[in-house]
Amino acid sequence: MPIPEFHTLMLPMLECIADGKEYSVKEITELLANKFQLTQEDRNKLLPSGQQYYFENRMGWARTHLKKAGLIDSSKRAFVKITGRGLDLLKEKPKEINVKYLKRYPEFIEFITPHKDENADDETVEAIEHQTPEEMLEKSYQQIRNILATDILEKVMNLTPTRFEKLVVELLVKMGYGGSIKDAGKAMGKVGDEGIDGIIKEDKLGLDIIYIQAKRWKPESVIGRPELHKFVGALAGQGAKKGIFITTSSFTKDAIEYQPKNETKIVLIDGEQLAQYMIDHNLGVSISNTYELKRLDNDYFE
C-alpha cells in the first residue's frame, strides 16, 4: 500500500488518541503503520536526501498541523494528547481532515501563512496541502539538479574526444579510484589501443587495472550489444578482467542485460548517470548556494 500523504494521516491520528490518554509518538506511529498496512519496506523508504524516512516525516508534519490547530497538545517530549477542541472536531464526524479544514482556526492560519502572502498561487497552495516542506524542497532540488545535468551533458558533447577521455579518467579518480591523476590513471586514445580509451588503477596501490571505453555520442545514437562485444574483445586483448563503458548517450535493453560468459566484469554508465556522478563529485560544477536544515534540539531545553 502506498505511503499515505501527511494530510491523510491527520484524522486517523486524532482518532487513535480520542480516549483522552497520553500516547507516545512511537505508539501512534505503530498504530497507523498497521492501520494503513504498511510493510517494513514501505516504512524504510527514504526521502531522496537519504536523511529521513517518508512515513516518519509525514507523521511528524501531521502532528505539527494538528498541534498548530490546537487539536492536540504535548505535555512532555515525544508524547501527545487530544485537546477539548480536538474532541469537539471528532464529534462532527469529518470524513477527512486537511489543510482547508484546519483553516477554521486562527492559530493555524497564522502558522500556514507566516508572512501573510496574499499572492500565493493555487499551485503553491495545493503543494502545501499535499506535500510536507521537506518533500517540496526535495522536489525543487531534484528539478534544479536535473536541469544542471542537462546543461553538463551539453557542455560535455562540445569537448574534443581527447578531452572527454581525460574527463572520464578525472571523474573516476574523484570517485576514489587510484589516487592522484598522475598516479592513478591515464587516457590512451591512440592508434593501436585496440578500442581502449583509458586505464585507471583500481586502488592507490595499483593492485589491479580497470580499462575504460569512452564514447562521446549524441543522445539519439544508442549503444547496442555489438559495441560491448568489441569492448570485451579489447579487454581480452589486454588480458584484462574489468572494464567501464561510459557514454554520453544511452544503452539498449540488450546491452544493459548483456553479461560476458567469461570472468570479465563490465560496468555501464550512460549520459544521465555520467552527469549525476559529475554533480555528486563536484567535477565541472561549483556550489551556488548552501542551505542548512535545522531541527529543534530538545536535549538542550531539557
**Domain ranges across the chain:** 6-131, 156-280
- pLDDT for the residue numbered 35: 94
The pLDDT tens digits of the residues spanning 131-161 come to 888 888 887 888 788 878 888 988 899 898 8
CB 293 within 8 A of CB 184: no
- pLDDT for the residue numbered 25: 92
In angstroms, rounded to a whole number, what is the distance separating the alpha carbons of residues 180 and 197?
19
In angstroms, rounded to a whole number, what is the distance separating the alpha carbons of residues 14 and 75?
16
Same fold, 6-131 and 156-280: no
What global pTM score does this model have? 0.63
The percent of residues above 90 in pLDDT, for the chain, comes to: 44
Mean pLDDT within 210-229: 90
Q: Over the chain, what is the mean pLDDT?
A: 84
Mean pLDDT within 177-193: 57
- pLDDT for the residue numbered 191: 39
- pLDDT for the residue numbered 186: 59
The CATH-assigned architecture of domain 6-131 is Orthogonal Bundle (1.10)
The CATH-assigned architecture of domain 156-280 is 3-Layer(aba) Sandwich (3.40)
Mean pLDDT within 201-228: 85
In angstroms, rounded to a whole number, what is the distance separating the alpha carbons of residues 48 and 19?
37
How many Cα atoms sit within 13 Å of 7 on the Cβ side? 16
The dihedral sign for the CA sequence 269, 270, 271, 273: negative
The pLDDT tens digits of the residues spanning 89-117 come to 999 999 999 988 999 999 888 777 644 44
In angstroms, rounded to a whole number, what is the distance separating the alpha carbons of residues 239 and 209?
10
Q: Please, which residues bridge with residue 265 across strands?
A: 242
* Dihedral class, residue 76 (left if φ above 0, else alpha if ψ from -120 to 50, else beta): beta
Q: Hey, what amino acid is at 98?
A: N
In angstroms, rounded to a whole number, what is the distance separating the alpha carbons of residues 222 and 218?
8
CB 6 within 8 A of CB 61: yes
